[in-house]
Structure 1
Amino acid sequence: MTGSPCDILDRYQQERWTAFCDEARATGMAFSPTSAGAKALAATVGFSEFVATSCIRHPRMALGLIDSNDLFKPVEEIHLGRRLAPLLESVAADHPDVPPGGLLPPLEAALRAFRRREMVRIAVRDIAGLCDLDDTMAALSALAAATIDGALALLFDRMCMIDGTPEDAAGTVQRLVVFGMGKLGAGELNFSSDVDLIFAFPANGETRGGRRPLPNEAFFTRLCRHLIQAIGENTADGFVFRVDTRLRPYGDGGPLVMSFDHMEDYYQNQGREWERYALIKAAVVAGDLEAGRGLLRRLRPFVYRRYLDFGVFESLREMKRKITAEVRRKKLHDNIKLGSGGIREIEFFGQMFQLIRGGVLPALQEPAIQTVLDTLAREGFVPQPVCRQLTAAYRFFRNTEHRLQEDSDQQTHALPSDPLPRLQLARSLGFETWDDYRRVLDDHRNRVRSHFDGLLEPEAPTAPDGDGGGKAADLADAWSLSTTTDERRRILESAGFKDAGAAALLEAFKSEPATRALSNAGKHRLARLIPRVLRAAGESDDPETVLGRMLQLLKRIQQRTSYLSLLLEYPNALSHLTRLVGASPWIAAFLSRHPVLLDELLDPRTLYAPPDPDALHAGLVRQMAAVPDDDPEYQIEALCIFRQVNTLRVAASDITNVLPLMKVSDHLSWIAETILDKVVEISWNYLVDRHGHPSCTLGGQSCERGFAVIGYGKLGGIELGYGSDLDLVFLHAADPGETEGGKRPIDNAHFFARLGQRVVHMLSAHTTAGTLYDTDMRLRPNGSSGLLVSHVNGFHRYQMEEAWTWEHQALIRARPIVGDAVLKETFSAIRQQVLCQHRETESLKTAVRDMRERMRESRLSAQPDQLDIKEDAGAMVDIEFLVQYLVLRHASNHPEITRWTDNVRLLQALAETGIVDGVTAYRLRQAYLIFRAVAHRLNLQERSTLVDGRRFRHLRDLVRSFWQQTLGPE
């Protein structure tokens, strides 16, 4: 055919369309070439020989597509399984007595005819621009799943008629499970793709009711072979989908189908890294869907380790090297999938993060690459511009892939080399010329190649190494077995360690049973890491102390060698770790208990920037969205990790003086409030699902939940520390009667008792990720002997009629944290009423003094030459009691002083009302803040609150003088 490529393409389109119109009219069916469906088909035939040939040979099929309006329906409206079912029922009805092998030809023909119609429909919608990439991939994946499931159901029923029904030992019917791997499992199938399948069945046993008993494995092996033939054999009508089963355990040499237990045992004991990589995209596509999902849940610990799996780096590097080598060896430059900067590299980019982080970030446990890239950007693991570029490139490449394959229904990924096919591809994608298309293509490939090349490259330290070569070699010698003790001491001394203690620490660490028991890979990683640790510690202000803390941490984490890999791969993380551990043994111990937090060291932007309440809430919502509602232990673990991550950020900001003390307490309180809110929500939903909603009213107002958590003590006073427990009181506003709408109604008050129990359980439960918070419920009415959850009216009566003075002192530092708005307002009104009662001065003084002395006697343990900055006379708790006394003494005349719950603002309020003169209030406030700051630093150093008795004399004298003036006896 002569002429320019553009003219030739136009003639192709016209000739194909004319040929189809002739065949359509010859059928005698009504046909309007100007209908919307006909126009869509006409726009497609010039770009797809497959569509043109299929429609010319099967005009009735094409006319049915046009008349049914199916060309304009998204995949959700097509219901492929329901459409295929009557066709397969007809096949079964027409061949009632034929064994499975004899049933295959008519089944194959029906499946292929169905496939032809749907593939034409999908291609027309795609090429004519009637849908986007996501709809095309979803439609292709749905077609594969429908045909596999339909064929499987028919073949299973027919085999059961002949060989009997497979059952387990308990007599439960067993059904095949078909797992789709790769693009099918991810719902991203391409136009002419084969399907990667793995087969399994729940349990061993044998068939019952057939000619003779047959082991389940033999039954399902035969069934799988029939299914592969029905779907994948290339007949006169072509195939439905080519089937590839090489991803199964043991590959081609393994059994075609396995029991669940056998498969789980294989992956747990013999599974390799590339199989973890493959299983990321596994999904149940046919057969017993529920059983298959259960098996995937069982395999999840193999795919996604419940920690940050940095130990996978070397395996991933090897995969990456193989990808790069294959591109060079096979000269795949013009391969849109396998070539440099192509689809495979984008998928590797996302799946690498899934393998490393998927165990601790459930949102990454998604098979679809676009969803994974969105998550990586949203969580801040990858810069958003990078994810946008990779997503744009992926969509461009996949659209190109579809156009290439839609032309002749061939599984090709190679860009054409001849001018005419090149122009056809460019035009099908909306470009005027091949050069226009190629420029965009190359831009995408260059960006993908750049991001792929940067993957897994070791991070360069921010500080120069200086004379690192020689010193690093010496420090490596200090760790080697051949080095004598004296030589080790000499090397360590030259690295900054001033005494023999460092050598002793190193020798003791080498002798640890856990160190000696490391695998060869673990010993190799440790041998590379220790010299870096020695160097970092040697450059600190207190090398021996820092080294001791670092070795203690390594002792706790070395068995999980992926954490050693993290510190090797990211030298800056090791620098941050050394800095934090050197500043605080509390942080060292915290990281030892929760090594998953080492990941936080990778990004200083978040490490030293703890989020505000709104960001905390949004972060927790995102984190919990991917946690199953029916897995309470997993929910608590996720909450524990959330608390630990954010506590570390506060501590890192604290010891580097990014946050002042008051802000530290604010952030720690916000973390607790955010977690309490989520714990109450989870507990509420759990009970409502079982028992229904309780009815609650207050003062004629309906309450949404009728439950509130009141924070006392440090939480109530917004003075929470790192190790503070939570002093809580629970209130409810239940009406008489039972819950409504649940499976098992219970008394409304009983509902709230269970709610309180569940909240306390979630807060204090021990999990592999630790515990959320220790809770103290003794401040509730009647203390430990009282109801766990009190009705707010009962709480009111108790406070007004029975509470002791010390309970009113505690109420000063109480505030509503979580719960129903009406109930929180009611509590605040009760609190003010109670605190503003008129009190007789002398009896109040006596009660406050007596309580303070009892506390001092039970808590004070200082020697004569020591000062307990919390409990000693003139110290921090004395200031708290002075403030509480003054509030209770004067609130009846100055109710505005009850507004605050923290001591600093309470002192300010006492000054503003003239109850305390401004100078004294200022000095007391400064003394209190100084005592708090010192106690806080001592806590971070894991030291007691005892200091040299000569310190802070002027502050103590001030407090004792004001105590005598205010609370001294007449």
Structure 2
Amino acid sequence: MSVPRGRRSSTFTRLLRHGFTDPSAAERLLDADALSAVRSDPLLLDALGATADPDLALLGLVRLAEAQERVSGETGRRELLDTLITAKPLRDRLLGVLGASEALADHLARHPGDWQALVTYEPRDLHPGVEEFERGLAEADDPVSLRVAYRRCLLSIAARDVCGTTDIAQTAAELADLATATLRAALTLARVAAPGDAAQCRLAVIAMGKCGGHELNYVSDVDVIFVGEAAEGADEGKALQAATRLASHMMRICSETTVEGTIWPVDANLRPEGRNGPLVRTLASHLAYYERWAKTWEFQALLKARAVAGDPELGAAYVAAVSPLVWQAAERDNFVPDVQKMRRRVIENIPAGEVERELKLGPGGLRDVEFAVQLLQLVHGRSDASLRSGTTLDALAALADGGYVGRVDAVQLDDAYRFLRTLEHRIQLYKLRRTHLVPEDDADLRRIGRSMGMRTEPITELNRAWKRHTSSVRRLHEKLFYRPLLDAVAQLAPGETRLSTEAARERLVALGYADPSAALRHLEALASGVSRKAAIQRTLLPVLLGWFADSADPDAGLLNFRKVSDALGKTPWYLRLLRDEGAAAENLARVLSAGRLAPDLLMRAPEAVALLGDPHGLDQRGHAQLEQEVLAAVGRADGAEQAVGAARGVRRRELFRTTAADIIASYGTEDQPVVADQGALVDRVGSAVSDLTAATLAGTLRAVVRAGWGDTLPTRFAVIAMGRFGGHELGYGSDADVLFVHEPRDGVDDQEAAQAANKVVAEMRRLLALPTADPPLLIDADLRPEGKSGPLVRTLKSYEAYYRRWSLVWEAQALLRAEPVAGDPELGRAFLDLVDPLRYPAEGLGDDAVREIRRLKARMESERLPRGADPTLHTKLGRGGLSDVEWTVQLMQLQHGWAEPGLRTTRTREALAAACAAGLVPGEEAEVLDEAWVLATRVRNAVMLVRGRAGDTFPSDGRELGAVGRYLGYDPGHVGDMLDDYRRITRRARAVVEERFYGA
């Protein structure tokens, strides 16, 4: 029928005003014959406008009316529409469901008589339980009819939800009760189908996860565990087989897709041994597994275990038997590393592009709340039975009542959790699909926002509220653990419920603190009192303590923080920096808890904390910049010792800059992900430490010359770096291998020049060897001609004479790393011109020289490895370690450097890449050697960072070994994997060395 233009314009406007986004389509639907009896009723338009999506609700209503007419004729359609107009509860419920759920609209279109399930009005305090849902499912006699009945029950839950008759906690509980009733109905169908199996066994179904916790989603896997026993007189083996068939059939009834779709998957992977374990076990078998093999996460999962179907006595016996095990989990030896591992695993499997839209697993998501609550339950629930609820919000309230969580924090977390769960429900309700992703489409966001009461600007309001709540959860997640600890020690509000000292100790132990009493003393010293400093510390510490707990040594992190705070506590900028610059606080926490070296450096130069708050504070500085600063500091000092002290001060600060940058890049922070390129990290450290060492030597040389001779030394003097120093590959604990060369100035007697040069060397070594708390800088000149028995410094002509007449092949090999680093640059270049023919011999090495190098390497392997050292784990001399790779690369340099310019470099990785480019070693083998060399270097750096002293093998102390593992990227509890990986990588490298170096 045609519509007058005036009426059309008026209706169009009204539809827009009522929230329709496609008024033209809505007009056509309103004009449909199916709505002829109600199209002009203003109550209908008002009710449609109150739904989440008026367009969707109107379309669903037309489909329902048409379907009702097909099934029941005109009478049935008229009954629906008359009831819709006259009964406001039905109108609100039916249209509310149709406007929020396309999937339930589809169900009503297929089963139009099911709208009758929404007719009965229920007061706000009347909510169905398992028995009511069982009655609603009672007539289902096959999987198809069970699905229809399930959706009919779901209709009433969704109606109460979208109309606000129930809150999120009640809705989730109703969904769990419906799931319980459905599991019982499915088990009944399975028993009817196999009465012989049913007679042989007792079978109990234990709900886990959100179903067990009475907080289920609209669409979620229903996690279960099956417990079976033989019926009286039955054989146990056959009974378990029968129980397994029943359990499998029950799972299929719920999970399989039929013409009516599916209900939800039944997931039994939380059972002992997961999908590899038997589907059904006896109670004794379950207990044997949990007592011997179970991991912490399995006890955490059992916290929500609830018997829901099957044999009630067996189910109750199972819950009673496992419950004590749950509350003993925090006493297990591996509890702390397991917890740390679980915390890191939260978002590792989320695709990178979905992290920010993930409601469940993303930062500030539902899992953060649930994990925090469950962890506190495991820690304190063993001594406080009031905390043992499987429902998140109930447990959170109990934790607040007991003083285990701050009341304000608990209220904020409760509010955030309710919002996020409501958002999750609204997303899933639309198509009844299992998802935790916030949609990106504006139409979806608009519908969800309106369904949650946001009507002015639903998309903007929804995004703003969502971000606010996730930010709140992220902020509270760590604060939840640690704020009550501070309240317990600060004692600023007498009379408030707070953690007991014993409960505080329990929590600290569970979070990784080995000495909780000392930790509490540190917290008291930092946070007690009413001073502004203490107030800021109480703001900072909840987050800092969480970062410390994420390290291998939380106790050291907290102790070091107290030391730094004591040293800088009266400095106005220190706490302000940590409070106002988020990156500074996290950077500091990572640095202070990663080992001894960086904190020791910081204690000697506390003001270097400022580097951690500067966006470019940890950027690497070049050699020229470093040398300029060191020389300027030396120039301002009085006397050589003060000058070298000034140079050491620059070195101390710059070493801290380098260690801090290395630690943060290796551990990662909230703002900076872990640097994946391990080779780049090694190159950065090697270059930074080598440049700093060169600048320190240049400053020391300047100080010695100025103190003894003024501006000009009687002889030109140069320092030549050797070994890793020359290769720009120094580690934190490496000695500086050097050669000294001098050349008398015009008119200066050779003897006078030699005396001056020797005095310079002696004074440099003395000054650098003066006792200091800084990491030592040892000069090693043993690579000079004649070794320890030869003169420390020679003229250029003396070097030339020696190398021409006496040089051995190992000396030519050592000279591959020679590079001038301090003193007269022209003299340094002249030295290189002198040794180039020796280290890059024309036509390469003869067979005798190659054999000699191999003999020397083999002798070194047999004689120099420390007694008792594991050759598979020694980074320098062990199998596939630094020496293996470097000697292999250096042999190629000696053989082919004369013909391949790329090989004429002092750097190992550069030379290896050049050898690969020149076809001297296959790419795959070059990668194997490079990986092993980088890993061995990283391990040496890690040992120095962790222990504060150099070492060539992994630490034996468990905590130190764990810290090395963290630096290398291994999760707590995985040091075995680290050692296995090291052995595997270096074993592969050794195979390449056997072929390429030894010619095997």
Question: Shorter chain as normaliser: what TM range?
Answer: 0.3 to 0.5
Q: TM-score, normalised by structure 2?
A: 0.43
Q: TM-score, normalised by structure 1?
A: 0.44
